[in-house]
Structure 1
Amino acid sequence: MDILLIGGLWLDGTAWHAVTPALEALGHRARPLTLPGQGDGRTSATLDEQLAAVVAAVDASAEKPLLVAHSAACTLGWLAADARPDAVAGLVLIGGFPHADGQAYADFFEIRDGVMPFPGWGPFAGPDSADLDEELRSRIAADAIPVPEQVARGTVRLTDPRRYGVPVTVVCPEFTPEQARAWIAAGDAPELARAEHVDFVDLDSGHWPMFSAPAELARLLAAAASRA
């Protein structure tokens, strides 16, 4: 199965470097995506352009692909499922939940000179980054790509209720499946509350398992592909 991999904020397709061979060894075609505004110098890239790139990757797949989205990009994966509800086999959300219609995509940190730079590790102290050694932290920070303002502050637009029929797997790294279920029940993730098929799987890692636990993450993604 084609598995389309979408990194979260500040990440491009190279973030999946260690996951890709593990997935291919398990019999899948891993396709890490690098989107407009991710290292191409286009600070004017928009959320709509990034969505169009994901949809184009879905359309280019020979069969229904599995979408995998990490962190803030869980919303981008959900937008793609909304755009192509009949063309994706399922959606895996790693360490995040999709925003609802009308919300800002990822307006979380300061915008400077038209982009949202990586803010350093301070905001991610604790379970998010506890499994990252200093070498990994330095590498991730050095490779971090500032997010174009029109991506971070883009407005989420959802139009097709058939997205709720797309099977979803929530991978829970720095939080537990029990916490995820509680947040959804409390109304913190209204889009997932309406989804018809949601599985929860635990992963003993921090927020960036593609760096700290790539083999285990690949195994979970392959299992999700088998279910799809």
Structure 2
Amino acid sequence: MDTTTTPAPPSIVLIPGHWLGAWAWDAVAADLRSRGHQVTALTLPGLDPDDPRRAEATLSRQADAVRAAVGAAGRDGAPVVLVAHSGAGHPTSVALDRDPGAVARIVYVDSGPAADGSAFDASLPDDVDEVALPPFDRLGEQASLDGLAEEDLERFRRRAVPEPGPVLREPTHLVDDRRRDIPATIIACSMPSEVMWQMAREGHPMLAEVGTLRELDVVDLRTGHWPMWSRPADLAAAISAAACR
């Protein structure tokens, strides 16, 4: 009689990008749960519209929240895979630097690791408390809206929460080189992976750290910058495949 058991799929923690809460992952989270994963979708400090002090949130507080979510997800001993979308790459990088052994893999969705000393927007004036979701014509100049239906844009506008200013301008402080040993996957959406690699080789500030990762897979999922809405089933499949690798 075969008494071997199949290991449970890794637990997955989903971190949304700027202006978003846990709700942004609803379709992807449901798909991942149907594949057997335990899933936690996190609303970072500063992105809860009911928090009266949310504009005071810092990058450090967000990193602490990521670490707490990872710790809770792995409490039963299951490996944890952390998924960071877009601007969530900064607090996630800080969290991984503080505890490199906490996760089995990091998955960046149209994102990547932050470099030591970098800030998402160092030019943001100190007197700017928060940054609201810009008009879509201007946002589309900064990040691809490809694949988003009108109802996606309407929900985005209705539910978006202004991003706290301190989170955007605060530089990362990274000291533990072991963060580069964590197995990583980048799901490249709004630019082809070959373009991403070229930018990384040329030292582009947003991608320079990619070249320092010691175990990296890159998956192309061609769509816009918000694949959790434009291609949720395909994104869930890519995340699950990376998690089980």
> Structure 1: which 5+ residue stretches go unaligned?
none
Task: Output one character per residue of 1:162-194: Cα deviation in whole Å (capped at 9) or x when no partner.
Answer: 001001101011111111111111112222211
Once the two structures are TM-superposed, the CA of residue 87 in structure 1 deviates from its matched residue by 1.4
Give CA deviations for 1:131-159 in whole Å, capped at 9, x if unaligned. 11222111111111101111111111111
Cα distance in 2 for partners of 1:174, 1:144 equals 21
Compute the displacement of 1:72 (Å).
1.1
Alignment of 1:84-123 (within 5 A): 84-107=99-122, 114-123=129-138
Alignment-derived partner of residue 70 in structure 2: 58
How far is 1:107 from its partner?
4.9
In structure 2, list runs of 5 or more residues that go unmatched: 1-9
Q: Supply the distance in 2 between the matched residues of 1:106 and 1:2 (Cα, whole angstroms).
A: 32
CA distance in 1, matches of 2:42, 2:123: 22
CA RMSD of aligned residues (A): 1.8
- Aligned AA (2:129): G
**Which of these residues, 227, 238, 241, is aligned with residue 209 of structure 1?**
227
Q: Deviations over 1:44-83 (max 9, x none)?
A: 1111111101011122222331010001112222222211
The answer to whether 1:2 aligns with 2:7 is no
Return the match for 2:203 from 156, 167, 187.
187
**Distance in 2 of aligned mates of 1:180 and 1:73:** 18
* Alpha-carbon shift at residue 19 of structure 1 (Å): 0.6
- Relative to the length of structure 2, the TM-score reads 0.87
Relative to structure 1, is the Cα distance of residues 6 and 108 closer, same or farther in structure 2, using a 3 angstrom cutoff? Answer: farther
CA distance in 1, matches of 2:63, 2:121: 14
Deviating 4+ runs (over 3 angstroms)? 105-113
Change (3 A) 1:141 1:109: farther
One-letter code aligned to 2:29: T
Amino acid of the structure 1 residue aligned with 2:171: T
Is the CA contact 2:60–2:94 (under 8 Å) kept in the aligned structure 1? no
The 8 Å contact of residues 72 and 106 in structure 1, kept in 2 or not, is answered as no
Quote how far apart the aligned CAs of 1:23 are: 0.2
TM-score, normalised relative to structure 1: 0.93
- Please say if 1:83 is aligned against 2:134: no
Matched residue, 2:238: 220
Secondary structure of the residue aligned to 1:155 is coil
Cα distance change of structure 1 residues 109 and 201 upon mapping to structure 2, 3 Å threshold = farther
Is residue 170–residue 198 contact of structure 1 (8 Å, CA) maintained in 2? yes
Instruction: Return the alpha-carbon distance in structure 2 between the equivalents of residues 44 and 163 of structure 1.
Output: 27
| Counterpart position of 2:37 | 28
Percent of residue pairs bearing the same amino acid type: 37
Partners in 1 of 2:225 and 2:123 — Cα distance? 16
Name the SS of the counterpart of 1:43 in structure 2.
helix
* Cα pair distance change 1:197/1:114, threshold 3 Å: same
CA distance in 1, matches of 2:174, 2:202: 22
1:17 to 26, 34, 38: 26
Asked whether the equivalents of residues 78 and 91 of structure 1 are also in contact (C-alpha less than 8 Å), the reply is: no
Q: Using a 3 Å threshold, how does the CA distance of structure 1 residues 109 and 23 change in structure 2: closer, same or farther?
A: farther
Q: Which amino acid aligns with 1:209?
A: P
Aligned to 1:138: 154
Q: d(CA) in 1 for partners of 2:138 and 2:86?
A: 14
User: 1:43: which partner in 2?
Assistant: 55
CA positional deviation for 1:215 = 0.7
